[in-house]
Structure 1
Amino acid sequence: MIEQETQPEAVPGPRNAPEGLPVPPATSVPRAVWQVRVRTKLDDLYQQLAVLATHDLEQAAALRAQLSGVEAVLGRSGVIEWLRGGKLEYAWQTIHWVERAMVGLRSADELTGLLPAYRSAAAQVLPADDKVLTDLDTVAGGVSADLLRARVQALLQRCHAVSDEFHESARRLRNRMLGLSVFALVAEVLVVLVQWRSNDVRLLEAPTDAGGVAAWRLLFFVLIAGALGAFLSALPSMITSRSGGLPYKLPFQQGLLKLAIGPLVAVVGIMLVIGGLVETSVSSTAALLGLAIVFGAGQQAVTAFADRRAADLLGPAAKS
């Protein structure tokens, strides 16, 4: 589902930019969550650059111009762009680059004062024994300003690399789940169409009380019952799952995958029952649909891989 933007009142750029430093144009607040986070981060960096411009006006202006390129991506996105995530990657990688470059504008005293904040942010995405984090812990008052800047930049670069890899993994998982869901839905439509056009082959044997029901209609109701079973079994996990602040809506994609796979599992399961591979019998339409609901709920065994992968990604705090 593509987020659409509204056009509420404009957000002005920083008012305390010194003379000679261009002020970013007023922009509207986007609706998409990831765009709101980017917009908030941009405003924060603009404010910081306005202060740092007193150290190096030319460099601060160059960094502000770099950030202004991100403004163009905070608009509508097509389906292809939504799948590829190019705008999202460009926005955050540009912000990350500017954050690292801003370290060069800060004085040694400023960096020393910001060290606890750098450590706290890095500890959320890096293991405690990561070398760039331990190197920063060894920083003392006698370290030169250049070495301090280099270590802070190395820490930021490591954190940003982890963040980029995290978002790329989440996007790949989203696209794979979406692709499987679309494939399953197309397969279900094709199965119904083939059964509708074929009168001599019946995928499902009709119970005694549904002998006059068309084969494709019976198949269609079994698919619906399977989707119902999938929905009931997926409801608890869909309610308790969390998105981790990501723009990829992984819980929604997990639910869609379950609803798409459930009907296919129901049809396959009933075919096995009718074929005699399972020791049970279907004597009525109610029993047939009830069995479809049970098999549809069994999609959890098929989609568990997606649940585990999403849980692994969203277990720690979302990295931005």
Structure 2
Amino acid sequence: MAPLRACIAEVLRASHHLADGNQQQARYFRNRLLIASAFSGLFAVLIAVAQWLLPQVNVITSPADWHGTAWVPLVTVMLFGAVGALFTAIPAIAKIPTDFGPFNLPLQQALLKIVFGPLVAVIGQAVLGSGVLTVAVPTTWPATFLSAVVFGAGQQAVTRYVDQRAGKILDVGTDGASVN
């Protein structure tokens, strides 16, 4: 009886150790996602404030029929970039568990995508407006909105690693493998 009890205790210790390690990985990854989201949001706000404070410097090319301040098209591009990012966040949003827990990685994944989308949209619009690429610069509001949505959705290429890493961490609970 004593050898069986010792064997059971060892199995319980090993499984507890594995579960602790997996929860620690999930916690650290969640914290990194939140920090990345905060920095992305802060950077987006700083770009908008800089455009507002420096109206003579255009971060993006405004549509041809726009004659107002430069920060309005910039904020509009950011908004539509967030909408494009929201499209790619739908799979992560669908995975958000109904029993909210401290290691809710799909929520942080979706948040990062939605906050990162406006930055990618602004960068994409800035690249188009700079003339670096030999493609047409959007000159109307609908073209500007559409390209902002496309660039916002394009953040998926950047956040794909985050999705893969979160998938590995979340799959650990179902298949028992360790995350490395």
Q: Answer yes or no: is the 8 Å Cα contact 1:178–1:253 preserved in 2.
A: yes
Opposite residue 272 of structure 1, the aligned amino acid is V
After TM superposition, the score normalised by the length of structure 2 is 0.89
Q: Answer yes or no: is the 8 Å Cα contact 2:81–2:153 preserved in 1.
A: yes
After TM superposition, the score normalised by the length of structure 1 is 0.51
Aligned residues: 173
- Structure of greater relative contact order (alpha carbons < 8 Å, 6+ residues apart): 2
Structure 2 counterparts to residues 1-320 of structure 1, below 5 A: 108=1, 145=2, 147-210=3-66, 212-239=67-94, 241=95, 243=97, 246-281=101-136, 282-317=138-173
Opposite residue 310 of structure 1, the aligned amino acid is A
2:98 and 2:160 map into 1 onto residues whose CA distance is 19
1:298 and 1:317 map into 2 onto residues whose CA distance is 30
Q: 1:25 matched to which residue of 2?
A: none
Q: Answer yes or no: is the 8 Å Cα contact 2:117–2:155 preserved in 1.
A: yes
1:303 and 1:244 map into 2 onto residues whose CA distance is 24
Opposite residue 143 of structure 2, the aligned amino acid is A
Which structure has the larger Rg over C-alpha atoms? 1
Q: Deviations over 1:240-273 (max 9, x none)?
A: x254975321111111000000000000011111
1:283 CA displacement: 1.8
Q: Answer yes or no: is the 8 Å Cα contact 2:121–2:148 preserved in 1.
A: yes
- Report the 3-state secondary structure (helix = DSSP H, G, I; strand = E; otherwise coil) of the residue aligned with 2:65: helix
Q: Answer yes or no: is the 8 Å Cα contact 1:243–1:250 preserved in 2.
A: no
1:305 CA displacement: 1.2
Q: Answer yes or no: is the 8 Å Cα contact 1:244–1:314 preserved in 2.
A: no
1:310 CA displacement: 1.0
More helix by share: 2
Where structure 2 has 5 or more consecutive residues not aligned to the other structure, the ranges are: none
Q: Answer yes or no: is the 8 Å Cα contact 2:37–2:111 preserved in 1.
A: yes
> What is the alpha-carbon root mean square deviation over aligned residues?
1.8
Where structure 1 has 5 or more consecutive residues not aligned to the other structure, the ranges are: 1-107, 109-144
Q: Answer yes or no: is the 8 Å Cα contact 2:92–2:107 preserved in 1.
A: no
2:171 and 2:39 map into 1 onto residues whose CA distance is 28
1:185 and 1:256 map into 2 onto residues whose CA distance is 10
Q: Answer yes or no: is the 8 Å Cα contact 1:195–1:215 preserved in 2.
A: yes
